[in-house]
Each structure stands twice: as structure tokens, then as C-alpha cells.
Amino acid sequence: MKFSTLQELAACCGEDQVTIGELMLSEQAKESGKSEQQTFDAMANYYRIMKEAVRKGLEEGVTSRSGLTGGDARRVHQYMNEGVPSLGTEACTALAYALAVSEINASMGRIVATPTAGSCGIIPGVFVSAQERYGWDDERLVMGLFAAGAIGYVIANNSFISGAEGGCQAEVGSAIGMAAGALTELRGGTPEQAVHAVGLALKNSLGLICDPVGGLVEIPCIVRNGFGAVTALAATDMALAGVRSVIPSDEVIGVMLEVGSAMPSKHRETAKGGLAQTPTGRRIMSELYGRKTKDSGENR
Ligand code: SF4
């Protein structure tokens, strides 16, 4: 890749007079040895999977394998259709769609890890709702995925994208930054504005711990995806309005690395701290694993 930081990414776009999405498409094609068309087609397939996960999560409704979660996307969608949600319809739609995809993940359905399975709802929530709102064609959204990929590439190479390494800021936080930067570009923002959107978004999730109840990617992961989609929209609007990330976005990524490195292991996907170790979290865990032990005993 000809860039390793967000500043370089924006500079390369300026030099080549291309969007972040266009630059990433050509760089990715070069790196993989595939044609741009093949590279585009592969990404288009990912977008189809995302849209299908949104549809399935909302229309069919799902329950997770553990039985702990499911149905919240439909609840939010129905609530939205019955009145005027506090967020407004647009943001509430993104929220419902993000929940839908995360619920599909918890039910072991098909999703695209963006950047991980735990944070798989945020980009589809933002993208699919924006497509409906603005009437964009799929091709445009696929180019947006390349933009999101470029941002994720920078974050992954300068910080973390997994909860086990850097806490939830690395998963949900990265996904929010990717969605915010990409949506800013999709809405006509410059590469610089997109980069500011990333920094604005990431700042808001610094320090977020990874504390999944029972070690399952359900509680609090699913609702964090919903919140993440809404935050991405807010960061996009701020960036398009001209708000800048005063601390440059690359420096914010550096802080994510610093904070994640200092995070105790109990807050990095081990389920040994945070929400996982609340009285309710512990009760759920013991019921879950007690039930599993009983089930396996009965099966013997
Ligand atoms: S809490 Fe942990 S497992 Fe859940 S989404 Fe965040 S990083 Fe992923």
C-alpha cells in the first residue's frame, strides 16, 4: 500500500486526484494481483451479504444460539414505524439495521467481519440505511466499502482491531471510524473531511473495554453495534459541517494503541471483568454453563 497513515492516505488521494475508495481499489488490486474488476466484484459480494443480513435480521428475526439475545432489531424497527423516535427515523433505521446484523452474527448466520464479527453491524447499519435514504446504487456503496477498508487498514497497522488485543474500542471503535470516514466520502466530503470524521468518531470510543457476558459476542456487543452506527452518523455530520478533529486522527489512533496496551487482561475479551462480572453477568454465565454441562451429561 502506498499509505500507512490517514494523513498519507489523504495526501495520496490529493496527488492522484482520486477518492479514498478509488485509491484503495487500485492498491488492493495491485497487492492481490487481481484485476480491479475482480477486486470490485469480490467487494460487491460482501455488500450483498451485508444487505441480506439486514433483511434477514429484520424480517425473519433471530434468536442467538445461547437464547440470551435476539429480536431487538425488530423491536426497534416496529417502535420506529409506530411513532417518531427520539433519534429521528434516519438514525433509528441505522440503529435497527446494525442490531439486525449483529443478531444474525449471534445466531451464527452469515455476516462480513468489519473489521471483526463482534463489530459486524455498524458498517451495514450505516451503509444500507444511507442507501435507502439517498437512493444510491450498489456500486457507490461498494466503493464506500473500499474507503472503509482503507481506514481499517490504517487502524489495524497502527493500533488494534480486536477486543482481545485492545478492548472494544478496537472493534466497535474501529468500525465506527471506518463507517464515519466512508460515509463522509460517500456524501461528497473530501478525503481530509473523511479523515477528520475518523478521528472524531474514534475519540468517542477511546477506553471502551471488551467485557462480553459469558464470553459470548452478544451482551453488550449487539447494543454497542447499534450505538456505534448512530455515533458514525454524528461524526459524519460533524465532519461535513466543517468540524475538525483537533487532535489529528493518526494521533487518536496512537492513543487507542496506548490505552489498549495499558488495559488489564480482564477487560480484553476474557470475560473476567466489566459487565461480564456483574452479579447478573455472573448469574447468566453460571446458568449458561450449568445448562451446557447438564446437556452434555444427558447426551452421554
Ligand atoms: S465487547 Fe468485546 S466481543 Fe463484544 S463487540 Fe466489543 S470487543 Fe467485540
Those residues whose C-beta lies under 8 Å from the C-beta of residue 16, and which sit 6 or more positions away, are 23
* pTM (predicted TM-score): 0.96
Our answer on whether the CB atom of 171 is closer than 6 Å to any ligand 1 atom is yes
What spacing in Å lies between the alpha carbon of 211 and ligand 1's midpoint? 7
Q: What is the C-alpha to C-alpha distance for residues 168 and 191, in angstroms, rounded to an integer?
A: 26
Residue indicated by cell numbers 476474557 = 270
- The residue nearest atom 8 of ligand 1, judged by CA position, is 118
- What number of other Cβ atoms are within 10 A of residue 266's Cβ? 16
Our answer on whether the CB atom of 179 is closer than 6 Å to any ligand 1 atom is no
pLDDT value at residue 61: 79
pLDDT value at residue 276: 98
What spacing in Å lies between the alpha carbon of 212 and ligand 1's midpoint? 6
pLDDT value at residue 295: 52
pLDDT value at residue 293: 53
Contact 36, 26 (CB under 8 A): yes
Our answer on whether the CB atom of 201 is closer than 6 Å to any ligand 1 atom is no
Contact 163, 268 (CB under 8 A): yes
Our answer on whether the CB atom of 221 is closer than 6 Å to any ligand 1 atom is yes
Contact 277, 176 (CB under 8 A): no
- What number of other Cβ atoms are within 10 A of residue 212's Cβ? 22
The per-residue pLDDT for range 64-104, each reduced to its tens digit, is 989 999 999 999 999 999 999 999 999 999 999 999 999 99
Our answer on whether the CB atom of 119 is closer than 6 Å to any ligand 1 atom is yes
Three-state secondary-structure class, residue 188 = coil
Q: What is the C-alpha to C-alpha distance for residues 107 and 66, in angstroms, rounded to an integer?
A: 8
Q: What is the C-alpha to C-alpha distance for residues 50 and 69, in angstroms, rounded to an integer?
A: 20
Domains and CATH numbers, the chain: 6-270 (1.10.4100.10)
Residues of the chain with pLDDT under 50: 297-300
Q: Which atom of ligand 1 is nearest to the CA of 163?
A: 7
The per-residue pLDDT for range 163-206, each reduced to its tens digit, is 999 999 999 999 999 999 999 999 999 999 999 999 999 999 99
| Amino acid of residue 146 | F
Phi-psi region of 188 (alpha: psi -120 to 50; beta: other; left: phi over 0): left
